[in-house]
């Protein structure tokens, strides 16, 4: 029998930074999915997902851009507000887009406050380690919980030279470990580990007191996150670490074809679907 338990087993309570810290201590696995609108937020909330991230992956999966770099703070706030309306239990994390914190801590705290005040986020996430330490400290000092994000950080795509696995080799691994420790030291309540070797994610998870949430980081993180379009099979291409749990893309395409056929043949709408 498996000894792995889940935080979502305790479904009646709202997820908080305190309950997530407890989950780490108890070895309960944490679940996080992205969402960008009310409908999917409500579905995932009812399904017992612990954290809903309004990710800046919005740029890729909703806006059709090649990178997350063009996403604006106003766009993030708009989508965060839509998602907030669908949640009763899950904790809402708003992603800080490129340009909303890189200038410095004052800009960072202003952006984070907007995500909370206008978007309804309960926490914010930002990418980076040692380089964003003052930003994390400043946002935490404003009483806003911060989730870190180290390893493959998509906003650094141009520095990395593509979306490449990070932390390979001794030097690379040491850099990611330093980043994760810095994020914790700065006061973050959790840290996403993206695109790093499983053994490195396992070591970081053991060394950190705060929960790690993995994506392309192997099985030993305290929790796992997926982009909802990958989970549901809505993308034409998915990276190899993604497990597709449904094929909604095929279902939607089939429904659209059936609709077109019935409209074209005059079968829809019939009497049952018309007002008398
Ligand atoms: O933007 C996003 O969706 C993310 C997750 C992949 C963690 O940052």
CATH superfamily, with its number, for domain 7-245: Phosphoenolpyruvate-binding domains (3.20.20.60)
Q: Per-residue pLDDT tens for 123-135? A: 999 999 999 999 9
Q: Per-residue pLDDT tens for 16-64? A: 999 999 999 999 999 999 999 999 999 999 999 999 999 999 999 999 9
Mean pLDDT confidence for 256-270: 98
Is it the case that residue 226 has pLDDT exceeding 90? yes
Is it the case that residue 7 has pLDDT exceeding 90? no
Nearest C-alpha neighbor of 32 from the set 167, 193, 171: 193
So what's the pLDDT on residue 9? 52
Ligand 1 contacts CB of residue 59 (under 6 A): no
**Catalytic pick among 12, 194, 236, 272:** 194
Ligand 1 contacts CB of residue 57 (under 6 A): yes
**87 in helix, strand or coil?**
coil
Q: Where on the phi/psi map is residue 162: left (φ > 0), alpha (ψ -120 to 50), or beta?
A: left
* Exposure class string for 190-226: b at 16+ Cβ within 10 A, else e: bbbbbbbbbebbbbbbeebebbbbbbbbbebbbbbbb
Q: Are the beta carbons of 125 and 96 closer than 8 angstroms?
A: yes
Q: Which residue has the tokens 């409908």?
A: 39
What's the rounded Cα separation, in Å, for the pair 25 and 254?
A: 45
Q: Per-residue pLDDT tens for 189-219? A: 999 999 999 999 999 999 999 999 999 999 9
HEC readout, 6-30: EHHHCCCCCCCHHHHHHHHHHCEEE
**How far does the centroid of ligand 1 lie from the alpha carbon of residue 275, in Å?**
45
Query: Which stretch of 10-24, 70-84, 91-105 has the lowest confidence by average pLDDT?
Result: 10-24
Q: Where on the phi/psi map is residue 218: left (φ > 0), alpha (ψ -120 to 50), or beta?
A: left
pLDDT over 90 percentage in the chain: 94
So what's the pLDDT on residue 82? 98
So what's the pLDDT on residue 237? 87
Mean pLDDT confidence for 88-101: 98
So what's the pLDDT on residue 181? 98
Residue 249 structure tokens: 């893309």
Round the average pLDDT of the chain to a whole number and report it: 96
> What pTM value is reported for the model?
0.95
How far from the centroid of its chain's Cα atoms is residue 264's Cα?
A: 41
What's the rounded Cα separation, in Å, for the pair 2 and 162?
A: 38
Q: Which of 96, 215, 231 maximizes ligand 1 atoms within 8 Å of its Cβ, making it the mutation to test the pocket? A: 215
Which residues does 98 contact at the CB level (< 8 Å), separation at least 6? 56, 68, 69, 71, 155
* Sign of the torsion angle spanned by Cα atoms 22, 9, 206, 141: negative
Is it the case that residue 187 has pLDDT exceeding 70? yes
Residue 21 structure tokens: 């810290």
Name beta bridge partners: 91.
51
Is it the case that residue 257 has pLDDT exceeding 80? yes
The protein residue whose alpha carbon is closest to atom 5 in ligand 1 is 55
Q: How is the chain split into domains, by residue range?
A: 7-245, 248-276
So what's the pLDDT on residue 6? 56
So what's the pLDDT on residue 132? 98
């Amino acid at each position: 029998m498996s000894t792995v338990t889940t935080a979502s087993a305790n479904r009646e309570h709202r997820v908080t930074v305190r309950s997530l810290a407890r989950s780490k201590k108890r070895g309960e696995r944490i679940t996080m999915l992205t969402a960008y609108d009310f409908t999917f937020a409500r579905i995932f909330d009812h399904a017992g997902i612990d954290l809903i991230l309004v990710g800046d992956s919005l740029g890729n999966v909703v806006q059709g851009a090649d990178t997350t770099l063009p996403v604006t703070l106003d766009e993030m706030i708009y989508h965060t507000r839509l998602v907030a309306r669908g949640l009763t239990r899950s904790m809402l994390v708003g992603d800080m887009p490129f340009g909303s914190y890189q200038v410095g801590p004052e800009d960072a705290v202003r952006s984070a406050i907007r995500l909370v005040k206008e978007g309804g986020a309960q926490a914010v996430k930002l990418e980076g380690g040692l380089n964003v330490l003052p930003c994390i400290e400043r946002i935490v000092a404003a009483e806003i919980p911060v989730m870190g994000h180290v390893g493959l950080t998509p906003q650094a795509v141009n520095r990395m030279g593509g979306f490449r696995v990070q932390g390979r080799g001794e030097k690379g691994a040491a850099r990611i470990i330093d980043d994760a420790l810095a994020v914790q030291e700065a006061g973050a309540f959790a840290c996403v580990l993206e695109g790093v070797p499983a053994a490195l994610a396992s070591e970081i998870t053991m060394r950190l007191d705060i929960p790690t949430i993995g994506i392309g980081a192997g099985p030993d993180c305290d929790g796992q996150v997926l982009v909802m379009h990958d989970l549901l099979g809505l993308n034409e291409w998915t990276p190899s670490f993604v497990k597709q749990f449904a094929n909604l893309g095929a279902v939607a395409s089939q429904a659209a074809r059936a609709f077109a056929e019935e409209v074209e043949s005059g079968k829809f709408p019939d009497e049952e679907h018309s007002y008398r």
